[in-house]
Each structure stands twice: as structure tokens, then as C-alpha cells.
Amino acid sequence: MIHRHQGRGKIRARLAVALMAATAAGCATNPVTGERQLALISESQEIQMGRQAAEQVAQQIGLVEDEALQQYIQRLGMELARESERPNLPWQFRVVDDPTPNAFALPGGYIFFTRGLLNLMNSEAELVGVLGHEIGHVTARHSVTQISRAQLAQIGLVAGSVLFPGAADALGGAAQGGLQLLFLSYGRNAERQADELAFKYTLREGYDVREIRDVFASLQRVGEKEGEGRSRLPSWLTTHPAPAERIQAVEAQLASVPNPETLRVGTPEYLARIDGLVYGENPRQGFFQDGLFLHPDLRFQLRFPQGWRTQNATQSVAAVSPQQDAIIQLTLARGGAEAAARQFFNQQGVQPGQAGRQNLNGLPAVVGQFQAQTQQGVIAGIATFVDYGGNTYQILSYAPAQRFGGYGRLFEQVAFSFAPLNDPQALNVRPNRVDVVRLDRSMTLAEFNRRFPSVIPLAELALINQVANESSVLQAGTMAKRVIRE
């Protein structure tokens, strides 16, 4: 008979062999360094993963509806990418409709900038510097290495489940979530390498590499002042190292650049391209007003409970209770209200309760209670489906079954608050936009704001113009940014 500890020893030995075999088979040559690199996925798999993720980004976050701007960033990105170590990737550069400053690279050459980051920058050289950094992550296959490490860690997790029965149930979800957070963030060495590549790519295209410092400095100021916000993306500071360290690294590299003053900056070209770009949250896509969610373009309103944490995403609006034990979510459903309700209540694992047709503020609807079995336990809630304006809206409100009694009445109030939006002030609301002004004389930022009033605070105005404070002097001929309301 084989003793239990001997069986485990053999399993451990087989696991070690499997891990070594996977690691050995999964090594490839790094296109940047020429050294061996962990890569358990092929280039075609990398591209496929990136393409699928890029489609999700476009759907869930949304792209800026400015074709000239999209073509502009695609052209600048391709100028760098075609001279990189991986010129044949299906490179794609897009601007997403998010107000927070951020940029990120997906596997296979799919790179995204937020309009919030474009609002923060002031020159083509700055933009090219950040483009070069994100391209560097792709050319050095940083995401491939992280994904490969995650796959090896998953092998270890599965083996741990064999060695210790029940480990998968107890740790599986938490470990996978932790791995996602851990491996989606690059290490310091990867970030340093991407910065070095950005410096090389930017300089090779003839742009002033000194401008990269201004981007890092601006992002550092944003990090010092920003709160949690309602962005659908992680904070830039959660995915990148400290800007101060990166500024010092750029300073050290600049010593090797002869005559940097002869390099291209491209301030007028860049500012002309972002003139008129939406600044901050775009109320046309929906906004909150004391718990009331108003959507001017779709012309509806819905009142969420006071004190709940809310988020407006491209395809949904959601609220979470202060105790984080109840959720309300508004999304679009397919088909009419009755068809959508049938599809929902007939799902496997869903137990429908009392349901029927209702009239919600003159709109045909189906409202019903339900229970459903989830991995976290049984939940109970109210599902509401409303036909309005050619769309079918689905409002799901739910909580753990044992707590539904405390929320049921509140869930009903939210569902029955759905109504057409008729307030002319809300219907006609317009977003703030960047307005570029060329100064005919020198003046301080405070004087600039008095002569060309902006709807944002002076400290924020200083930030987007990359000056220290309201006393900073803007020279004659400078192209300065202000923010105006349409």
C-alpha cells in the first residue's frame, strides 16, 4: 500500500516536472533584447486575445466620436510602430471616451488613450512619448510574460487542489482574482524598459524627448489631487510607477542627447487637434443630480437611493448600497418588455415569483420578483422591463435572500421612478469643451482667466496648461487652454 505522504510526494514530483516542462517549452526570444523570455502563448494567440479585449473596451467604455482625432493618433502611433521591433503587428491606436488621464496597451498592438489624458497634454512630443511607452510594452511582450506567469500559477493552483482537497473551493476564486490584479500590472523592470524604449522611439522620430518629463509631472499632480472618481478604468497610478522616479530617469538619459533644442515639439499641431474636445464628464451620456439619474440623449430618468455609490458606464448604470449588500443595475435588454421578461424568468437557476404587466408613468412594463442561486448563495430581487423610445430597459435590483425584506420596498420605488425626461434644462445640457486661445500679449494665468473665463478652478486650469499656479506667466504668442461650457 502507498502511504498518503508518499502519494503526495509523487504528485509533487510530477507537478515539478510539469512546471519545468511548461517553462522550457514556453520560452521564446524577446524581440527587443534578443534574450530568452517566458511565453506560453503564440503571437497569433496574443493578437487574438488583444483583438477580443479591444472590442470589449470599445463596447464597454466607448470611443470618442471624432474620426479626425482617431486618424491623427493612429497616424502618429503607426509612425513609431512601423519602425519598432514588431512592425507587422495589426497595430491599432484609439481614443476612448473616459475623462480620467490614462493609457494602456493590450496584447498584440491594441493601444488606447483616454480623452482625459489628451486634455492634459500640450504637444505632439508629449503624445508621442506616451505612445512610445505603450508600444514598448507590446514590442517587449510584457503582457505575454504576465499572462504566461498567470497560466503557470494556475497550474500550481490546480495541483494544490489535488494535494489539499477543498483548496479550490476555498481559495480558487480569491487566487484567480488576485492573479488578475497582480499580473495585469507590470513590474518596475518592465516599466523602466518601456520608458527606455519610449525615449528611443521618440528620439528616432525627431521629437523632443524633454517633453516626456512634462507628462510625468502632470500625472503626478493629478495623482496628488484626484479622489476615487467614477472612471471605468483603474487609476493611472495603480498601473504605473511613481512619476518622480521616472522624471529622474529621463533627466539622466537627456545627457546623451546632442542639441535637443533642434528637435520637434509640435505644440500648435497638437492643440489644434484637441481644440473642442470634450472635457470632464459628458452629461449627454447621462449624469447624476442628487440621486436622480438623467439621460438627455435617451430622454429618461431614474431615481437611485440617496447615499448609494453609483457608477455610469457605457452600457449600464449601477448603484451599490452603503453596506454593499444590495445592487441596482439598469441595462438595455433585447426584444420587447414581455419577451425580455420571459427570457429572464425562464433562465436556469432563476425562480420567478409574482410578476405581471404594469404601467410605469405611462410606459408599458413587466415587473416581477425572483430568486436565484449563485456561488455566493441565494439572492432575491425585483426585475423590471420597460418599453420606451424604441428600447427595452431592464432594471435588476437584488440582495441576499435573507435581506430582501429590508430592501423590497426600496427596490419597488426605484423601478417605479423610471419615467420620460421632459425637463428642457436637462435635455439641453451640453458638455464642457477645451478651447485653445493664442495670447496677443504676456499675462499671468489669473489674468488669462479673467480675460478668457474658464468653468474650471484656477488650480485645474494651471494643471492642464502645465504651469505652477495662477501667478505663472504665459508668454505672448502662447497657445493656452481654457474650458468652456457650450
pLDDT tens profile 339-378: 999 999 999 999 999 889 999 999 999 999 999 988 878 9
String of b and e for 178-192 (b: at least 16 CB within 10 Å)? ebeeebeebeeebbe
- pLDDT level of residue 143 (50, 70, 90 thresholds): confident
- Beta-bridged to residue 318, according to DSSP, are 311, 329
**Residue that wins the pLDDT comparison between 229 and 246:** 246
Identity (one letter) of the amino acid at 94? R
DSSP state string for 156-171: HHHHHHHHSTTHHHHH
DSSP state string for 376-388: TEEEEEEEEEEEE
The single-letter DSSP state of residue 87 is T
Superfamily of domain 283-424: Mog1/PsbP, alpha/beta/alpha sandwich (3.40.1000.10)
Question: Sheet of 350-360: strands edge to edge?
Answer: 309-312, 316-320, 327-333, 391-400, 377-388, 363-374, 350-360
Give the residue among 125, 275, 283 at the shortest CA–CA distance from 201.
125
What are the sequence ranges of the domains in the chain? Answer: 1-266, 283-424, 431-485
pLDDT in tens, 59-83: 888 899 999 999 999 999 999 999 9
The mean pLDDT of 112-134, rounded to a whole number, is 96
389 phi, psi to nearest 5 deg: 60, 30
Q: Which of 88-97, 171-180, 394-403 has the lowest mean pLDDT?
A: 171-180
Supply the pLDDT for residue 231.
53
The mean pLDDT of 463-474, rounded to a whole number, is 97
In sequence order, which residues have a C-beta less than 8 Å from that of residue 190 and are 6 or more positions away?
137, 140, 142, 145
Three-class DSSP category at 397? strand
Supply the pLDDT for residue 466.
97
pLDDT, averaged across the chain: 84
The mean pLDDT of 93-111, rounded to a whole number, is 92
pLDDT at 157 over 90: no
Query: Under a CB-based contact definition with an 8 Å cutoff, are residues 111 and 242 in contact?
Result: no
Portion of the chain with pLDDT greater than 90, in percent = 62
Residue with cell 408599458: 364
Q: Which of 159-163, 191-195, 259-263, 327-331 has the lowest mean pLDDT?
A: 159-163
Task: Enter the C-alpha cell of residue 117.
Answer: 489624458
pLDDT at 441 over 70: yes
pLDDT at 430 over 60: yes
What distance in Å separates the CA atoms of residue 260 and residue 210, rounded to the nearest whole number?
Answer: 8
C-alpha count within 13 angstroms, C-beta hemisphere, residue 135: 34
- pLDDT level of residue 269 (50, 70, 90 thresholds): very high
CA-based torsion, 179, 181, 185, 188: positive or negative: negative
**Residue that wins the pLDDT comparison between 191 and 343:** 343
pLDDT in tens, 17-35: 444 444 444 567 777 776 6
Measured CA to CA in angstroms, residue 64 lies from 15, 171, 275, 296 at distances of 48, 40, 14, 18
